[in-house]
Amino acid sequence: MQTTSASITTLIEELAKLPGIGPKTAQRLTFYILRSPTDQARRLAEAITRVKENAIQCSICCNITESDPCPICANPERDHSLICVVEQPLDVLALEKTGVLRGVYHVLHGALSPLEGIGPRDLKIDELAARVRAGVSAGAGAEGEPVREVILATNPNQEGDYTATYISQAIARPGLLLTRLARGLPIGGDLEYADEGTLSRALEGRREL
């Protein structure tokens, strides 16, 4: 890319590295920032720097947070004997929006994929195993209480399924309930637009009325 300013070129290149941002959008954003007031640009720059400086990993659930333990792990109202295992911090946000889950989380930071060279040691699986072994003493819940249930909420694809299977073998112990999220039809959807894979899983998982 040939522009008349090296700093413009740099910003375009940096923005284009972001997911979902193509070269065209990067150019548009760059010139938007260029035209915007100086303090607005500075606030953006500071926000970017701060998120890197202040964000740490919760020592219990491995979610990204600014305080350790994170607000969810520190909340005594939560059911600490129910752990929901997810791949990414964004999955926590999605589940929190439902307001249905009263338990706590564990963020793996990825899914197992031999093809991409991601093995068990690259994820927070050992941390989860230790957490289950130790029971609920580490959190704000009652001391020594065992973990009752682990929900494996990894993505419904091959890597996610493999990760769930692997974890269930790694942490299985008597009295521990291991569950997997149901899969099937989306709410408000149309039966005729569902793909065969989803529809056959929905049939397999049908429920008595």
CB of 74 to other proteins, least distance (A): 32
Task: Rank residues 119 and 186 by Cβ distance to other proteins and give the closer one.
Answer: 119
**Distance (Å, rounded) from C-alpha 85 to C-alpha 150?**
7
- Among 37, 99, 114, 175, the residue binding other proteins under the rule CB under 8 A is 114
CA angle, residues 184, 190, 195, in degrees to nearest 5: 55
Is residue 120 a contact residue for other proteins (CB under 8 A)? yes
Element (H, E) at 91: helix 89-98
7-36 residues in contact with other proteins (CB under 8 A) are 19-20, 22, 24-25, 28
Residue 113 in contact with other proteins, rule: CB under 8 A: yes
Reference 27, options 42, 8, 53, 2; nearest CA is: 8
Cis peptide before 69 (omega within 30 of 0): yes
Residue 38 or 169: the one with the smaller Cβ distance to other proteins is 169
How far is residue 202's CA from residue 21's CA, in Å, rounded to a whole number? 35
User: x/- contact string, 143-162, with other proteins (CB under 8 A)?
Assistant: ---------------xx-xx
Q: Which residue has the tokens 């049939």?
A: 203
Which residues does residue 180 pair with via DSSP β-bridges, in sequence order?
A: 152
One symbol per residue from 177 to 196: x for binding other proteins (CB under 8 A), - otherwise; what is it? -------------------x
Q: Which residues bind other proteins (CB under 8 A)?
A: 19-20, 22, 24-25, 28, 113-115, 117, 119-120, 158-159, 161-162, 165-166, 169, 196-197
